[in-house]
Amino acid sequence: MKYSGLIFAFLSLFATALMAQDDESTLVTLNNRDFTVGEFKQVYFKNLDLVKQQEERSLDEYLDLFIQYKRKVEAAKEQGLDQRQSYLTDFAKYQEQLSRNYVYEDNVTAQMVEQAYKRSKESLKTSHILILCNWDATPQDTLVAYNKAKELRQMVLNTPDNFNDIAAKYSEEPKADESRGSLDYFTVFEMVYPYESVAYNLKVGEISDLVRTQFGYHIVKLEDRRPVLPKRTVSHIMIGTRFDSLDTAKDRIMEISGLLEKGVAFEDLAKQYSDDKNTGINGGLMRPFTKGDLKAPPFEDAAFALTQKGQISAPVQTRFGWHIIRLEDMGKSPTFEDEEERLTKMVKLGDRAKIVTTAVSQKIKEELGFQAYPYKSSFMAVLNDSVFNRKWRFVPFENKENRLLFTIGRKTYFYNDFGAYLELRQTKVRPFKQIATFLEMVYEEFETEKVKDYFKQNLEQVNSDYAAIINEYRDGLLIFDVMEKNIWAKAKSDSLGLRNYYEAHKSQYLWKNRVKGAVIQTTTEEDMDEALELLRRGKSPSDVKSQLNQGGALKVVISEGVFEEGSQKLPATYVLKPGLSDVFESPMQYTVIQAEELLPSGVKNYEEVAGAVLSDYQSQLESIWNDELAAKYPAKINKSALRKLRRALKTQ
């Protein structure tokens, strides 16, 4: 048994090794470039679910798409699109963003995410006293500010009940005499990190030690802490005031409120009447929110005043218009797993990013090897006050004076590398008052940037996952640019070609049979009988509406226009014919159609289908271009590798 198990383990390892070898085998060669089985498999498996849902393509068909894609990338490079500044800028931004996901694989981020989650459970109300002192203050000014803040802290410790009086008199925060140092409730990520951290570690009524931020020295008093309310889910119907007057919008929302009272489904009314189209198509359903998220207090107050699922509010006015709100879910506090992804993104931004970056930079230095050398005295000797006017010019150090600055891995940087960077950065960074502060800040920036650059440059060689993703994005950017240049923009500007395409393919752009008239709807049989009586007496649909909807009543809803056969506004069983139709009954709704004129099927004019023509014309141009690329970049397929791939995929 042991012997057979050993053989099985050996064969498994051997098979795994063979599979790895197969992944490195060339599958396709075009334009003297080899593309491996592994590269194709990665794209294939990534898109397999989508492929199955759409067209159930065969392996050969998907390989054809892969080859077409690579041909377009080759065309983009031949056209120099990979050298354009816009491409280089976009790629650099994505490379920076993606590499962060690999650089930040350490405990620092995880610890800060856990801390942020715990803090997100509460919102705090604080008061503070601020003595202004930015990071660039002279040592003398910093000491003066520190001593002043220290004296004020002792003052509030002696008379803590007078904190706000002292803040009003001595705090250097703008309008402190009005705010008296009092701040609104805040939660995690809403204040600078040092202030937030001190506040969350205080007890109610407790006064902090001095807190240093980029603004100066703070003395913080915690006034209150309260739990953050769970996010609620509501649906709403909105009648906006962007196009209607306030009175008209109010009248419309009251009409809809009346329909709700008569039992018409909330979702149907939202789909049909809500001016918030993004939620209307989903029956008015909104994303979950808590107080403060929407920046619309009347709406939030009304939503949180609802106490039962399905409860509907009275009409509520906000700066966006009028709303009717229905409570869908009271919500519950999110778990750590729910919030982890969002919090991780937040940790990598703002104040916390500096802490994480410093820790990660140190980790890279330890892993790759880093050695720094003295530099301050040499650069202080050549820097002068012209740097404050952003006019300092760097004169390169000569020979032995161009000393080592630092080394990272196999990469070495010298004084002249940093000097050139200093001259460039003086025009980009915020103004400084002290040369030493400017020098230290820019050096730290330069060192961090070069350490990360070295890591990123080597990451593609040492991390296959990163290499695959960055290569996919690199090619994707080129595909977009080459399609824009050769297909999309070309088609848009070819007005004659678009017209000719339309004339040659008119049979593809047809109207169905249509009816011109009015759709009349009521919620009760009695109201429909009244509407029919007026219509039969020769009253127009608009006359019917004005006579029945009097005194705030909403007995009838009428839509006039041209309706195509199969339109959602027409009953499903309605057969187009002139005159007044039979009554179509559905739950809580009665419908008739007053057909003034039948419009036969026919060709749509160009203006009505310009968008569809453009899309179809672009597809035609792309098909022609694909043939041209196939002739220019013939593909050679490794049939042996393809057979092995086919067998391997059948077993998965």
CATH number for the domain running over 233-329:
3.10.50.40
Report the pLDDT value the prediction gives residue 8, as an integer from 0 to 100.
33
Report the pLDDT value the prediction gives residue 651, as an integer from 0 to 100.
65
Report the pLDDT value the prediction gives residue 103, as an integer from 0 to 100.
66
Among 526, 498, 517, CA closest to 606: 498
Report the pLDDT value the prediction gives residue 22, as an integer from 0 to 100.
67
Fold of 122-227: Chitinase A; domain 3 (3.10.50)
Report the pLDDT value the prediction gives residue 420, as an integer from 0 to 100.
96
DSSP single-letter state for residue 235: E
Q: Which two tokens stand for residue 427?
A: 């025009």
Report the pLDDT value the prediction gives residue 457, as an integer from 0 to 100.
81
Q: Which two tokens stand for residue 325?
A: 């709100």
CA distances 591 to 53, 515, 525, Å, are 38, 15, 10
Report the pLDDT value the prediction gives residue 48, as an integer from 0 to 100.
64
List of residues 6+ apart from 386 with CB closer than 8 A: 392, 393
Distance CA 290, CA 483 (A): 43
- Average pLDDT per consecutive 10 residues, the chain (652 residues; last block may be shorter): 36 38 84 92 73 60 94 96 95 84 68 94 94 85 94 96 96 95 91 95 97 95 92 95 84 93 94 92 93 83 95 95 96 91 86 79 85 96 92 95 95 96 89 87 92 84 82 93 96 96 95 95 94 94 93 89 91 94 92 95 94 96 97 96 88 62
122-227 against 233-329: fold identical:
yes
CATH architecture group of domain 510-603: Roll (3.10)
Report the pLDDT value the prediction gives residue 556, as an integer from 0 to 100.
94
List of residues 6+ apart from 24 with CB closer than 8 A: 36, 37, 38
In the chain, domain spans: 79-120+333-490, 122-227, 233-329, 510-603
What is the per-residue burial (b if ≥16 Cβ within 10 Å, else e) of 228-251?
A: beebbbbbbbbbebeebeeeebbb
Report the pLDDT value the prediction gives residue 17, as an integer from 0 to 100.
39
List of residues 6+ apart from 436 with CB closer than 8 A: 376, 380
